[in-house]
Structure 1
Amino acid sequence: MVEYRSFRLLAAVPRDFGVALRPHIASTVAAMIQEVRGTVPDYAQPLRGVFGKVLLGSVEYAVQHCVDSMGTPDQPHEHWVEFFRRRGRLEFTEGRNLDALQDSATIGARVAWRSMHPAVVQAGVDPDIVSITAEAIFAYVDELCATAIEGYQRAQAEAEGTVPVRRRRLLELIAKAPEGSARSIAELAGGAGWPLPETAAMVALERRPGAAEFPVDLLGDGVLAELDGPEPHLLSSDPDTDLAPLADRLDGWRAAVSPVVPLADAPAALRTARRALRLSTAAVPGPIIWCRDHLATLWLLAEDFLAAELARRSLDPFASLGEKQRERLSETLLVWLESRGSAPEIASQLGVHPHTVRNRLRQLENLFGDRLRDADDRLGIQLALRAQRLMQAQLHGDDESG
């Protein structure tokens, strides 16, 4: 247990000394955070989200409590102790060791003393009081770190031997890849006994109603798995080998496998795999969807609003036509753009008479004119028609599954 000698030392400091320091708290906190972010790699992140809130709140609370404790023997400390124990637990759950927290506390104490010292000198404080205050502040920092270590070690003891917990936390960290997380990922991988690969594929999973449990026993030790959340997924450094045993055993599950990418690109890879799962089986078939085989399709449907805007701009001549006529001409135009074949060749693909194709091509010439002779326009029209066909197939598949 920590003895908290610093609280007794701070209580011995004259109350007026703490009052004199209060106007300097905000500037001191700002200077501490700037120095910590500039010198401690794990904290060199933008001050936003949970990270920013925790770092800023911890520094503000530490400085405020230290100043409030000066000359206040009856100052309560229970909340402070619990706060920094939780702070230590957070370091463990974030996959960091305590080096970063201890380094930042030591650096922060040095910056705080340097920032407040001019006010001390200006106030003409007795040198003995200055000496006691300096001793109290540095003892305070040591005990803050010791309190955080208690929380860290308690969390570590609770998780000791629970490698699956660490592996799930590791997968979560990789899938989100927050800025500056590379070191945390490496440390957590070591603690989980998982060799960190340079590249990997993300596998998005979808469980259909009534499906059996996922055959997790078929996965090798190198696969990280999250199967309990609303969006189950896997990470595999060698998906062709790791997923081969699953080919005939998914039984109500679908899987989409991203391309193999550097680990830093895992979040984007997982988004791609999940997008593949959202496509209908008509557009991207199979219980295991290999995204590498459908890159053009996934790119075309990456953003629905972009596909819709491309269709609006490129296919506007169809706007005045009825639905049936638009479908027939769209089908013929896409085959012509993809094959540039003759009327008989196009007719053979469509299963209609060549005369019908010639009539449709004349209609298309009247509708699009010079745009069919411009390479950029032709590309835009072709992409819009393909995206339109894929979206229609997706809607049709959704209707059937519903």
Structure 2
Amino acid sequence: MDVPSRAEASMDLSEAARRLADDVDVRAMSPRVTERIAREVFADRLGDREFLHVLSQSVHDNVQAVLDVIAGRLRVTSAEPLGAIALMDVFAELGEPTASVERGYRIGQWEIWEQWVAAARHEAAGDHELLTDLVVGPSRTLFEYIDTILTTVLARYEEQRRSVDRARDHERSRLLRELLESVREPAAAEASAVLRYDVALTHRAVVVHSEDRAVAEGALERLREAIGASDALLHPESVNRWALWLGRREPPSASQLRQFRRELDAFGLTGGVGEPAAGVPGLRGSYAQAREALRVRQALGAGGSPVAWFADVQLEALLLEQPERGRAFVALTLGTLAGADERGVRLRETIEAWLEAGSHVGAAALLDVHEHTVRNRLRQIEELLDVTLPARRTELAVALRLHRLLG
């Protein structure tokens, strides 16, 4: 027995089925289909009149198209119900998942089929052969129509969803830039809705270098989990630099901060971390600090942790604001000790150890040399600089930190 092809199926209909399709009242069938789809698939939108109106129009156009195909007025492959296309645009704008679109069509298909079978039974009036004739062909046509139109509307949905996502991403990036540059100060609710991030939280910003978006996204998720953030935001600052915000309502615990540090170091990405601060000013301020910390980390070059915390390098960040004055300060304070020669390096290391330890004995332990060696070096330094070291403790500490930054 030959089975009709899909292209032929919609034409394999009896005259009785065509007459019944002409007799079915679209205005009576459509509201029941709409009501069932709304109740079973979009229950959370039952109070949205505009949505229900668009849904109703889509259902009406689909039901009309199905009946037109059964009646022989339209081919399945030619059906383009405008209401169904318009509904896909609404779904894309609202962010309804694809599964809801498909389920809506299947529920509608079932309701149309039930109503058609009821009409066929009434028309057949006990004639089983006629009933079979009225049900089999139209049922196959209904299924063919739903399968075909689903392909069309889902393609439209995906296209429109991509367009909506691009527009929203553009608006999101634009607003974030305006917030960071203090161009505008929208209400917290508006900013949160556009950014899809709660700007009323207390934020900690991180700026990292990564050439791979997936790595940045992975870092955001792991850091969010480590610090117990209730919300997170990722922003591509440039081609290979990413800004991350992690929001909390309460300060993290000491163990969460330790885990946060471990995760940051484990990524091996060069980065900077700002201090936590609340609201839109905090979003902006922590970000500025993270960028400053990153600038210091890059200036320091190789060695040490790849991540700089603003709290640890805020002096360096301040000193880098005027690099020329900084170099002049280093030259005046360190004199010949600022050179790259072996003696200059050794004497700078000695001063740093003395400043850290607080005594020549402690400095000797840090440097693993005899304390007399340290005492002789410190005396040599005082002669070269024509100062007493205790009197220049602060200036020397700042000059040494600047020297590492400016070279």
The alignment's TM-score, normalised by the length of structure 1, stands at 0.46
Structure showing greater relative contact order (alpha-carbon pairs closer than 8 Å, 6 or more residues apart): 1
User: Rg bigger for which structure?
Assistant: 2
